[in-house]
A and B are shown apart, each in its own frame.
Chain A
Amino acid sequence: MSLTGSDLRNLVLAALALGICALLPLSGSGYWLGLGVTIAMFTALATSWALFSGPTHYISLATAAFFGVGTYVTGLGIDSLPYWGLIGIAGAIGAVLAALVGLATLRLSGVYFVIFTLGLAELVRQVITWVQNNSGQKGLYVLTDLDEAGIYWWLLGLVTAVFVTGWLIGRSRLGFALRIIGDDETVAAHSGINTARAKVLLFMVPGAVAAMTGAILAPRYVYIEPSLAFAPILSFQVVIMALLGGASRLWGPLVGVIPFTFLLEAVSANFPNQSTLVIGVAFLIIVYFLPNGFVGLLDRALTRTGHRREA
């Protein structure tokens, strides 16, 4: 593995950007820190989502399922295990769950996969609700001495890990195999690629990341219950943000997460009951006007001016 000059430059820039982001809690503003947490959370979720869905074109709505499982891992284990250990356990459970879902569904074509992943979140939520009803519990308290800044730094670490993983996958045979699969699955199989294995392996990444995100964020909710932890709206928000930015580049989703977070923030401050409407309208606008997201817009502009970047 060798690094070119532009790789090094990008690496330095990314490290610099990360360093600046890490200083946010020192600003002392609770409002900006809260926004930072939301942005870091959606960056981790949307970037890892796009790692899988970008090349394969499978739309996964399972984010809420993995996320909810992660919050419950923290909720159930916070009294007996260290926080970092719970994040690791959540990641492992998320990856295993994703592998099982993948083995069961990735042989299905697009639409069936979408419906199955949407149903999965609902299924897990109903099971937990049923268990709670039977045990007489309503929810779980997650009490820690972790403050908002701590959660933010944990999320920032996770975001870094997601970008490094995505960058490594992009340079690997697995990443190349997935690009081939995304273009033409028949050609992929006849080129010697085990398409099912490649897809399952990659689907484990967003599964693990979403579960870890849930585990990190559980203390912020203080009290968790199924309808909060498994809210299906989360899955849709992640899809919209990733598509708004563009799922074809590693940094694409980030470009969607930031403006969309501000938009949602402005809407929920001014029209607290209309945020679902905004998500719906945003979705329509993206599908009609920005099918390839901001990344696609940028690519088109670059092609027009004749400065097409080398891939």
Chain B
Amino acid sequence: MAAPVLSLRGVTKRFGGLTAVNAMGFDVSEHEVVGLLGPNGSGKSTTLNLISGALPLTSGQVSLWGNRISGLPPQTITRKGVSRTFQLVRLLPSMNVRENVVAGAVFGHRRRWGGEARDHADQLLDQVGLGGKGDMAVGQLTYIDTKRVELARTLASDPKVLLLDEWLAGLNPTELQIGIGLIRSLRDEGRTVILVEHVMDAIRSLCDRCVVMAAGSKIAEGTPTEVLSDKEVIRAYLGDDDA
């Protein structure tokens, strides 16, 4: 395996007496799509929040290309090239679709401004399937389209690592196929992605590797087929009787 883009070592987060994430450690290589799985409440989203800087770590270390990024504020981590979407879509209500994407292009890893940022935003909107909708208000969008805008915003600064927090959640079956296709296109572009996901179809078809969490700890790591047949993983999802 080549030198990892992102690596977590002993990453731990405690909220008072509760250990939400316990000594997590894994690596992500360049051009790799890694799925972060686990039952509800297993600490997946918290792990993503620790990587993006939304929450401070209690202990441990996250590094990007070997440089420590844990402990830095989210804006600095974003500028270094880690960009994310949110579990509940967060768009900027006072701005139109294009401005929402430009917002991601101006201050991030690779910065653009003015006409260049607008052209870049339009290009990304085309890519995520929203070509020609740049002038629409975000309130007029369907659910999947709001997710597309957020994805385009996340891509707008040419991030090194993309964090997708349940990006496919809440989509209907038709939308889901579109969504999976969209993330596959990111994969084909050679982007490095960590996705927190519950949708098994998506995990099987998109992920090179999976890390499975339960109760804050890593319980398995490997290809989707390996981890989904792992006894520990089945026990974590279904309980002891079925294992």
Listed in ascending order, the chain A residues whose CB lies under 8 Å from chain B are 173, 176-177, 179-180, 182-184, 186-195, 311
Contact = CB atoms under 8 A, between A and B. Distances in A.
19 contacts: A176-B102, A180-B95, A184-B91, A184-B92, A186-B86, A187-B86, A187-B91, A188-B75, A189-B53, A190-B52, A190-B54, A190-B78, A190-B84, A191-B104, A192-B78, A192-B106, A193-B75, A194-B73, A194-B75
Given A184-B90, A189-B73, A176 B106 contact: yes
A190 B84 CA distance: 7
B72 to A, nearest CB: 11
Nearest to A173: B106
Given A173-B113, A184-B90, A191 B54 contact: no
Contacts of A193: 75, 107
Given A191-B78, A193-B75, A186 B107 contact: no
A173 B107 contact: yes
Contacts of B7: none
A293 to B, nearest CB: 15
B134 interface: no
A183 B107 contact: no
B109 A192 contact: yes
B103 interface: yes
A191 B108 contact: yes
Given A192-B107, A193-B107, A187 B90 contact: yes
Contacts of A189: 53, 73-75, 78
Contacts of A182: 94
Consensus secondary structure, chain A interface: helix
Interface in B44-89: 52-54, 73-75, 78-79, 83-84, 86
B73 A183 contact: no
Interface of B: 52-54, 73-75, 78-79, 83-84, 86, 90-96, 102-104, 106-109, 113, 153, 157
The 7 closest A-B pairs by CB, nearest first: A192-B107, A183-B92, A192-B108, A192-B78, A189-B74, A192-B79, A193-B107
B90 A180 contact: no
A183 to B, nearest CB: 4
Contacts of B91: 184, 187
Contacts of B75: 188-195
B48 to A, nearest CB: 11
A280 to B, nearest CB: 30
B120 to A, nearest CB: 14
Contacts of B93: 183
A106 to B, nearest CB: 15
B83 A190 contact: yes
B104 A179 contact: no
| Listed residue (B91, B92, B157) with the most chain A CB atoms within 10 angstroms of its CB | B92
A191 B90 contact: no
B40 to A, nearest CB: 22
A179 B107 CA distance: 13
A182 B99 CA distance: 14
Nearest to B94: A183
Nearest to B52: A190
Given A173-B113, A179-B94, A186-B54, A191 B103 contact: yes
Given A190-B84, A192-B157, A195-B75, A177 B107 contact: yes
A180 B74 contact: no
Contacts of A184: 90-92
Nearest to B80: A192
A192 B94 CA distance: 19
Contacts of A187: 86, 90-92, 103
A267 to B, nearest CB: 35
